[in-house]
Structure 1
């Protein structure tokens, strides 16, 4: 809610009561310019430390995504109370700053300010993921120690937080749920939702059936569980039993049928929806796009525009991602032309999606044009253009983009190096590839993953260095993982190298690799070479090496241009 008319500053303000009337909706203001004008009036009246005004100012700056200004308001309070701390903690949560929210909580405790029943639900929102389990347990101990366990909002928040902490968190949530003296609908919904997130669908359904009362959230939660598990028969059966369905219920079913590829059923349900919001339109359009049904997708996109719906970032990114996945350039062009016609201001995220879509749809020049026209780029922007450049065979340009990215202060991540190593692979830059691979962990602390090893094996194989490729597989630290690689045929390999690998296989060291490294190399090398080396081409499992591979390349680098390699190059074969 915006404050449409600014009040005039009174010439004299004797007490805060006058401002309580004027500022009653201050915490709802989302217009930053208006907010700053109001703040100036507050300072003139010397009410910036008022217990009523300060929390409203913090809340309003938070809504305007100006957390630094919110913190400034807080810091000017000499003795902040629990309400002010609660407002600051909530502001950090709203602005995706969980660490700062926790820091504010611990500062509050260190300053001797006692939390209340509102504090813990706010703080618990900062705890998610398996790494937060101990933190949630600590907060749980605080709750029990200070007697807030009887306030049902607090244990409900604990159940929700525990449910986000993996299997051990779910166990703790179950235990807490079972000992709760009082449970309300939120308690049951939180526990059912936690079980669904953990993949415990059968137990979630059992608890759902035991619920003394249910609302639409209850039904939609278990419905979403069936859809997530691709159990569409059970989902449809439940959908039919629902006493009341809302747009979430219908959209969930449409999404489920799209994911399992039943577009006829998805379209039938979509057409039956009495109310279609932007989410529903996005789901069905993206569903058609992911299946490569461009005409249907474009037709629905046109109908969505005719219905008067104005798209925002989320549906644009979703549809463009589906276009990129299926190579639907026509729909991607349609989306961008719509954006240009409506003078839609592209955010960095939307521009990233456009770069990725054009690159994957074979229009690298357009991807580069969008990239160069971006006002602000992030690491995703650079990764998209680097991967696109490598994908289109612009190897030297890819490495130039990588250098330019570092010059502009961006630190590469594992995705960046996949693009860089792919460029080296396609260009046959063996020495450069080894260099970049080694710098991953040495300079950036990035542990090589299956994709990076795949690039290096492909690089050696394409260059005819099968001995080095096999040695890399052998020296990798092995951890099994169900990933199958594929790579293009290398330019060729000599009988000398093939013979060397056969001998390696037959010795005592090579014989230990039959069920591990051999399978990985078989998955990485092309079928023609696998046949020449008597490797089984069809393997069900690859290998994941999840820690350092730099040491594995040290020996290879030293012998890369060894006498054996020279013999290979001199061979008439």
Structure 2
């Protein structure tokens, strides 16, 4: 109908009245209020019947008509029958298209401008740039950049920032950097755009160089650097920038709070995490679900499961992320049954689980050896919820089977996986081989790991330790030579503890600490009391070919023991001691810390590479299964 009507439109001329006096009251009202394509067709037909010029339609309604019609062709016909449409009409249409469902139409319409000898203005270019940005159309963006230069809009900072942002979103680092360097003027938005691009590319050092050179910084600038350092695995730097932000008197917003909480979680900095939590409540962010979810994660990673539960229980609105974070937190802290109960509650209220939820559930089963429940969850995630297992789920299942000694089943599980197993999957099998002393499967797992992750020292160390436990010293030496030849260096064990807001780090065998002598003396006294309680140093965990007395000295210098004694010295009686460790807690340290928690009447929380151990009154939350 529309194409037929277009063929019979009356010719436009300057003498023809541009009033709408020929319209009925109904159509006159419709002229300014139509809201559907049908009403537009009805009005269009009446304009033709009454010989009323199409230009009677106000430009804003033409733009609205364009946004209503399902195809670009009709909008084009409307313009073709307008004599010399002004730039306002064009811009109205371009804006409608750029913000509508089909931003490509704005670009198609823009290409028609030269047919009407219309010179675009800054608004024209901004609307088309918006469409380009939505479509990530770099090539058209470069064309528009040319228009900006040609038409003398180079001093229009808004347009220049739009182009720079388009280049950045398209990942065109060279063009973005060249444009940034040549811009005649910049504002804080310009710098933030460039920093965002660099942070996304992982080039945090260049981003920080720009940040350092900024004449003015907005809260977004500070937040970019805080979150950027956190995402790049540099939480210490993230916290440092946040403290500088506070000194500069800039108030954190909700995004900043999330970034700082995430960095606090990675560092295990409970003091800062709690301070930011208080700031969040004072600033009215308490109901922000995103912040609450991050708070749960922060408290979980800092070993404060009770605080995480309090945040979760107080939430008025919970998302699947909230439930999944709490389930994973309970699993990490050895409370598998509570994690499974929480999952039941989640299902009862109608909350649909996602793939992260099942990672948490499978971790819970793995940490407590619930093989049958683990198999059931793995099957249900697809059968009941249509979730296709990812590599993380396969890794959890291999870990579950391997920990419980079902090594052959774990191996068969790997061989039958529909996706290629990665280093984490084979590493889980290798870990089980160490616990259950299976050299043959350990060698096969290591063969795959040497191809998948050749520079990961952990896998070589585990295989070396398996050989050492079997007294196969020649094989131990062979693995060590292989590491040396491949340039793989052993990661030193370290533990950290935060006291009065200051982070203290200890490495295995550390004698350089200012209080090393005092720590050594206190540990000697503790050791006497431990031995009276039946503690016998487990020198079998020292997998080096040396005398027994040397092995015992080596055990006494493990980093978590040094951090523990420092915590006993520096904190008040009854204060919980929280230690973060980069490697797995060894059997000897685990036994010693259990007894120290009873002797010193302290709660000792240790986060190692795999999970949390909460030592209290001579027992550990892991149930000695880790």
**TM-score, shorter chain, exceeding 0.5:** yes
- Cα distance in structure 1, aligned partners of 2:99 and 2:93: 10
Choose from 193, 212, 216 the match for 1:268. Answer: 212
Question: 1:199 offset after TM fit, Å?
Answer: 6.3
- Cα distance in structure 1, aligned partners of 2:33 and 2:353: 40
Note if contact 1:226-1:234 (Cα within 8 Å) is conserved in structure 2: yes
What is aligned with 2:221?
A: 280
Choose from 72, 83, 93 the match for 1:154. Answer: 93
Question: 1:493 offset after TM fit, Å?
Answer: 4.7
Change in Cα spacing, 1:384 to 1:256, as seen in structure 2 (3 Å) is: same
Note if contact 1:193-1:222 (Cα within 8 Å) is conserved in structure 2: no
Change in Cα spacing, 1:238 to 1:298, as seen in structure 2 (3 Å) is: same
Change in Cα spacing, 1:177 to 1:269, as seen in structure 2 (3 Å) is: same
- Cα distance in structure 2, aligned partners of 1:244 and 1:427: 61
Secondary structure at 1:354 match in 2: helix
Say if 2:58 is the partner of 1:117: no
Change in Cα spacing, 1:519 to 1:204, as seen in structure 2 (3 Å) is: same
Describe the superposition over 1:112-165 as per-residue Cα deviations: whole angstroms up to 9, x where unpaired.
8779534467679xxxxxxxxxxxxx544564576699853435554666888x
Change in Cα spacing, 1:494 to 1:340, as seen in structure 2 (3 Å) is: closer
Describe the superposition over 1:218-272 as per-residue Cα deviations: whole angstroms up to 9, x where unpaired.
32234335555777676454223223323311222344555522265144234x1
Say if 2:239 is the partner of 1:300: no
Choose from 363, 370, 374 the match for 1:429. Answer: 370
What is aligned with 1:564?
A: none
What is aligned with 2:180?
A: 239
- Cα distance in structure 1, aligned partners of 2:163 and 2:33: 38
Note if contact 1:430-1:460 (Cα within 8 Å) is conserved in structure 2: yes
Shifted more, 109-118 versus 468-477: the winner is 109-118
The TM-score normalised by the length of structure 2 is 0.52
Question: 1:395 offset after TM fit, Å?
Answer: 1.9
Question: 1:297 offset after TM fit, Å?
Answer: 3.0
- Cα distance in structure 1, aligned partners of 2:386 and 2:353: 10
The TM-score normalised by the length of structure 1 is 0.56
Change in Cα spacing, 1:320 to 1:145, as seen in structure 2 (3 Å) is: farther
- Cα distance in structure 2, aligned partners of 1:279 and 1:120: 38
What is aligned with 1:351?
A: 292
**Structure-to-structure mapping, 1:419-458, within 5 angstroms:** 419-458=360-399
Say if 2:401 is the partner of 1:401: no
What is aligned with 2:510?
A: none
Structure 2 unaligned blocks of 5 or more: 1-28, 45-60, 467-481, 487-626
Question: 1:382 offset after TM fit, Å?
Answer: 0.9
Question: 1:461 offset after TM fit, Å?
Answer: 2.6
- Cα distance in structure 2, aligned partners of 1:435 and 1:375: 31
Change in Cα spacing, 1:260 to 1:463, as seen in structure 2 (3 Å) is: same
**Structure-to-structure mapping, 1:182-193, within 5 angstroms:** 184-185=121-122, 188-189=125-126
Query: Which one has more relative contact order, counting CA pairs under 8 Å at least 6 apart?
Result: 2
Note if contact 2:327-2:342 (Cα within 8 Å) is conserved in structure 1: yes
What is aligned with 1:462?
A: 403
Question: 1:439 offset after TM fit, Å?
Answer: 1.0
Choose from 208, 218, 230 the match for 2:145. Answer: 208
- Cα distance in structure 2, aligned partners of 1:465 and 1:82: 77
**Structure-to-structure mapping, 1:191-202, within 5 angstroms:** 201=138
Question: 1:411 offset after TM fit, Å?
Answer: 1.6
Question: 1:109 offset after TM fit, Å?
Answer: 4.7
Secondary structure at 2:338 match in 1: helix
Q: Max radius of gyration: which structure?
A: 2
**Structure-to-structure mapping, 1:307-326, within 5 angstroms:** 307=250, 309=251, 311-324=252-265
What is aligned with 1:334?
A: 275
- Cα distance in structure 2, aligned partners of 1:198 and 1:300: 38
- Cα distance in structure 2, aligned partners of 1:476 and 1:145: 58
**Structure-to-structure mapping, 1:496-515, within 5 angstroms:** 498=441
Secondary structure at 1:296 match in 2: helix
Question: 1:198 offset after TM fit, Å?
Answer: 6.2
Change in Cα spacing, 1:392 to 1:238, as seen in structure 2 (3 Å) is: farther
Choose from 143, 159, 177 the match for 1:218. Answer: 159
Note if contact 1:282-1:315 (Cα within 8 Å) is conserved in structure 2: yes
Note if contact 1:294-1:331 (Cα within 8 Å) is conserved in structure 2: no
Structure 1 unaligned blocks of 5 or more: 1-79, 87-104, 125-137, 506-513, 539-573
Question: 1:85 offset after TM fit, Å?
Answer: 7.6
Question: 1:422 offset after TM fit, Å?
Answer: 1.6
Secondary structure at 1:243 match in 2: coil
What is aligned with 2:51?
A: none
Secondary structure at 2:274 match in 1: helix
What is aligned with 1:509?
A: none
Root mean square deviation of aligned Cα? 4.9
- Cα distance in structure 2, aligned partners of 1:175 and 1:223: 22
Secondary structure at 1:293 match in 2: helix
- Cα distance in structure 1, aligned partners of 2:422 and 2:31: 51
Question: 1:402 offset after TM fit, Å?
Answer: 1.0
Change in Cα spacing, 1:251 to 1:438, as seen in structure 2 (3 Å) is: same
